[in-house]
A and B are shown apart, each in its own frame.
Chain A
């Protein structure tokens, strides 16, 4: 425990911070801070000086072009967390509000409206029942005797509809009837007193908004790395949350190789809440893992030897959400817990909880935040406790009496005004008395032995406050590596510092930015636009944790950095120490399967509502019983005004002339393989949005802005045609089955009888992005083959029907039905209104007639004669017949030309065809009577 013989000079003031300021983009550059004599005894031979910042550090180079997925994508569809546009005013009112003052306007009315629509029973239940008799909903006139006590609501509803239609019209006036009604019903109609409800909604909105501005619940991060017991071993453990609700805790064995690899299946625990934080520390060769969710904290013990199963030791429940859980690096089974009520506990697995402090007020000055943090110090009985205003150390044996201030947001540490503590961390593995404190502007290293004066300070320049930190201690003569991570921006910074015992603390080398998860998007195979957007959203999910593993492989040293996203995906990247040469990235770009598709092919019906281009258009949704009316407003004024609409998006530069990015290196083949696998697993897991039983209704304005629908200046003929077709389809409310222009048909080519040839089918599949699925179908079960087999069976049954009982044939047709519906590849059973296909036919006699023979014209179509005269070779005729027979039972529309399979893949039409195919068949048994 040596103390540096001399520290860097610094002023020491007391009181509140004097320096004004805010986030300054370049504040961390170009300063040496102070200098100090390099070492004693060299004075005579010319004095050498060392800077506090700007010395040389170790060189750690990223080994790959981007972060690589480490585990398959987390199960289940990730529901993106709340976005500002969900609770802020959009539309006319926002513009009005924004003109007045800057700042966000919460859409209070909309939220309240949602409540009334979503929970009408809670909102108006009992009064609605009471008034039931007095509200008349019919169209006819009221009878005279009833007129005295009954209101005719229909007129009122019409009035409301009209009002909706006129929304946005500057001359809108409330109809007198409506005004009268609203005055009449103002106070007593609501079950929950309106004022109270409004207060609650408003409070909740403010909370949500505060959470959007800065969410401190993931502080500390939910990812932990348990290193192997001896450094030579290559198997460690990664502890991370997963599952749709992030409430499963996984302990995964990881083999450290060129790209780390998961070994075996992880040990899994299901917990009772979303996992916010995973903390780990090693004591006496055993790892203790603390897990924090909002109302529960648990501790697990993981024996050091590989393969040993983790055991849960204890769980505590808190009434107020816990904000911190740290594990003692000194004593086994000791943890520190803080709750948002301002309480700090020392939690020992053996002796239980000991409350050290309970103070809802912050320590050094008033701050509204209820966030508290606690960590361990060099003395096992002394805990640090933190709030937004600073850090104190308290002795657990006498917490009231024995404490000292370790860090204060104030002049003592040279803080700026408005600076707040974001994350404290004990750096015991680097030096027993060092602590890290990050704020939204700077990072500080503190020494317990010299409280209040940071031994190191550096403005980190990160866009979001660093919520995660990880320390990789360096051996003697080496620098300590600190990783800082931010949540919403996914920033990741590597810093190095040295010193603390013999020499004073110095920052070593410039800081280094590591790859973010979102950065790997450009290395993934090209996707269809809507998938690209989904992927972008998924990869851009806020970070939720950070861990790193040091791998020493002889002289080669590398640092593996793991990142966890809020969606539950774990990515990793490798940094190699300069002594080791990174493998030259080879150009193995096999990933690009499909070219970027034209916007015309972005099939309108297949992109789920809500993913439309919301940046350009605004939408307002009003609920009217079951009908969803979407009103779009294009924001053209916005563009004219020149104010950026969505700052994050707007600031992304799109100029092709500048070279903002150096041409990205290509990921290694192994990484490319991982990308492809990950993507495949992702599209399998939750690629397809749930299909609605009824055709989705979309307002056309949503899909295309008015500008887009305007005829462009030099549009090609094809463009023009497509446009016409589109307009026509919209007018008719139909679908576009094929995009290729019907008119200039090439001279009648001999139509390929048996589907498209494999190559074009494959290309078509690749075009629509389903290449992987196509391949699987191709290899395992060919759809057509299956159909053919079924058809074959059915024919055999038909032949045998004379010998069979009627009931048997009935059942066989039933099974056929269900099998056929199975064939519709994952689609839910067709639910065309009024005629569910798989419904048992009530009303039909148990021994219904056998399935009818194909309609005459189909018969003719399938006759070998007709096929021959179409020039179809003999060996193919049967296949074609089989193929056509599948569709033949449908309504008398001509069978799909095989060439249009592409459009089938884009538009989920096969389902509706199937369901319609079932329609006539249902009647057939009756027809037989």
Chain B
């Protein structure tokens, strides 16, 4: 009966698919390709109302096989993809986009550009939300490629400009590239998302043509619009922009303060700390101490000599001046129950001393002040340092011994 036939067909389709899957997961691309030729038959009787129909599966599997098969060429890949584009209307844009990605990754920028332009001009009835998104991405990537050709021409022009030779056609072409790129890039970065690449390029374009206000607005929007994800890069780009344009310390600090609030472990926190330490305002210096303490809370900073020397320097300053010891005390209060085990264990003292002497020096200084001269870390490192006849360790020992009462005040 036809019902039975249908069932058998479905069953054998599933079995075939599982063979393909099995072969692919074992990197047997040739075997998978053989089975895929059988599976193509399933297109003829596609009764499925499933979420992912056989045509999409064939596209996905075929693409994957062609990417890894030892005998496949770009020509074959292109012809396969062209066929796949005709298989499903719903998936046309997605296949186009993926095709362009493949071309880009293989260095075929021009072909990718053609593909994207072609896809951009495609129209078919009403677009679904997903298709809309895909279309925007296609446009954005085309804009990105326009930007690259703009920047190429810019380089040519600048080089030639140095020779005192001007080429009008190149300049015109460059401007048209700029316009095409700017329009598309501007579109996508309005939509909430992670658009690091597009934002960077768009800002570069704007800056070149001197539209600093627009650039600043774009960056502000990208960093502070609450609909966008809390992307640390958005703040970094803004900070870098402000720095490039020689903005005031205050605005730089406020940009970094926000970055500190969302990602206390960001690598820019070192810069932030140095900036704050140099400040004359007490409040800022206080913030600097907070920033460096917070950064060193994170496992990723554990062995960062720069960060430890920042902390050591500031702590040393405070101890010598004997002012604001309460700052240290406050920071230490929330950490004294776990920093000793996290940073200042005997095991770490041994390892730091063996692997990185200057790290152990900075850490020993901090440990000596925060935990006193009897702390395991300080004792071990200073002992080893003195044994190795390194001068700075002897000075360190003297310093900590001299300022031991500070420890009592901090811990008390």
Q: A residues near B, CB below 8 A?
A: 1-14, 18, 20-22, 24-27, 29-37, 43-44, 46-51, 54, 284-285, 329-332, 378-381, 397, 412, 428, 431-433, 449-453, 461, 493, 510-513, 642, 644, 651, 653, 658, 660, 662
Contact = CB atoms under 8 A, between A and B. Distances in A.
A284 B52 contact: no
B327 interface: no
B52 to A, nearest CB: 4
Interface in B84-108: 98, 101-102, 104-105, 107
Contacts of B14: 651
A662 B133 CA distance: 42
B275 interface: no
Contacts of A30: 59-64, 67, 98
B7 interface: yes
24 contacts: A11-B192, A18-B129, A25-B18, A26-B52, A26-B61, A29-B63, A30-B67, A33-B101, A44-B155, A51-B105, A54-B67, A54-B102, A285-B347, A330-B342, A380-B297, A380-B338, A380-B342, A433-B265, A451-B229, A493-B25, A510-B27, A511-B25, A651-B11, A658-B19
Given A7-B194, A43-B151, A512-B26, A29 B233 contact: no
A4 B234 CA distance: 12
B226 to A, nearest CB: 10
A517 B88 CA distance: 40
Given A26-B17, A30-B62, A284 B347 contact: yes
7 closest A-B pairs by CB: A30-B63, A30-B60, A513-B25, A432-B300, A1-B300, A284-B347, A32-B101
A34 B188 CA distance: 15
Contacts of A27: 52, 60
B51 interface: yes
B309 interface: no
A660 B19 contact: yes
A281 to B, nearest CB: 12
Nearest to B112: A49
Contact of A36 (B56, B98, B197): B197
Contact of A6 (B7, B140, B152, B196): B196
Contacts of A329: 299
Nearest to B68: A510
B258 to A, nearest CB: 14
A662 B28 contact: yes
Contact of B348 (A22, A51, A284, A378): A284
A480 to B, nearest CB: 15
Nearest to B198: A9
Given A9-B194, A510-B68, A513-B26, 15 more contacts: A6-B233, A12-B193, A29-B24, A30-B59, A44-B151, A46-B107, A332-B341, A379-B265, A412-B229, A431-B300, A433-B298, A452-B229, A512-B27, A651-B14, A662-B28
Given A330-B342, A511-B25, A658-B19, A25 B57 contact: yes
Nearest to A660: B19
B343 to A, nearest CB: 10
Interface of B: 3-4, 7, 11, 14-15, 17-19, 21-28, 31, 50-52, 56-57, 59-64, 67-68, 98, 101-102, 104-105, 107, 109, 129, 133, 137, 140-141, 148, 151-152, 155, 188, 191-198, 200, 227-233, 236, 262-263, 265-267, 295, 297-301, 304, 334, 338, 341-342, 345, 347-348
A506 B295 CA distance: 26
A20 B51 contact: yes
Given A3-B263, A51-B105, A642-B7, A22 B51 contact: yes
Nearest to B152: A44
A35 B193 contact: no
A12 B299 contact: no
Contacts of A4: 233
Contact of A451 (B24, B230, B342): B230
Given A3-B236, A22-B51, A513-B25, A31 B60 contact: yes
A464 B347 CA distance: 42
Contacts of B50: 24
B107 to A, nearest CB: 7
Given A330-B299, A433-B265, A449 B232 contact: yes
A512 B25 contact: yes
B233 A379 contact: no
Given A12-B192, A284-B347, A653-B15, A433 B104 contact: no
A12 B98 contact: no
B104 A35 contact: yes
A330 to B, nearest CB: 6
Nearest to B334: A397
A381 B68 contact: no
A642 B4 contact: yes
B63 A378 contact: no
Among B19, B98, B105, B334, the most chain A Cβ lie within 10 Å of the Cβ of B105
A43 B109 CA distance: 12
Nearest to A515: B26
A748 B300 CA distance: 88
B61 to A, nearest CB: 5
A6 B15 contact: no
B54 to A, nearest CB: 9
Contacts of B152: 43-44
Among B26, B61, B133, B298, the most chain A Cβ lie within 10 Å of the Cβ of B298
A65 to B, nearest CB: 12
Given A30-B63, A378-B298, A379-B299, A12 B342 contact: no
B194 A10 contact: yes
A51 B15 contact: no
B106 to A, nearest CB: 9
Contact of B57 (A2, A26, A36, A380): A26
B295 to A, nearest CB: 8
Contacts of A18: 129
B57 A9 contact: no
A911 B40 CA distance: 62
Among A1, A332, A397, the most chain B Cβ lie within 10 Å of the Cβ of A1
B197 A9 contact: yes
Nearest to B103: A49
Among A13, A20, A26, A512, the most chain B Cβ lie within 10 Å of the Cβ of A26
Given A8-B194, A30-B64, A331-B341, A379 B298 contact: yes
A481 to B, nearest CB: 15
Given A8-B194, A331-B341, A513-B26, A1 B298 contact: yes
A453 B231 CA distance: 9
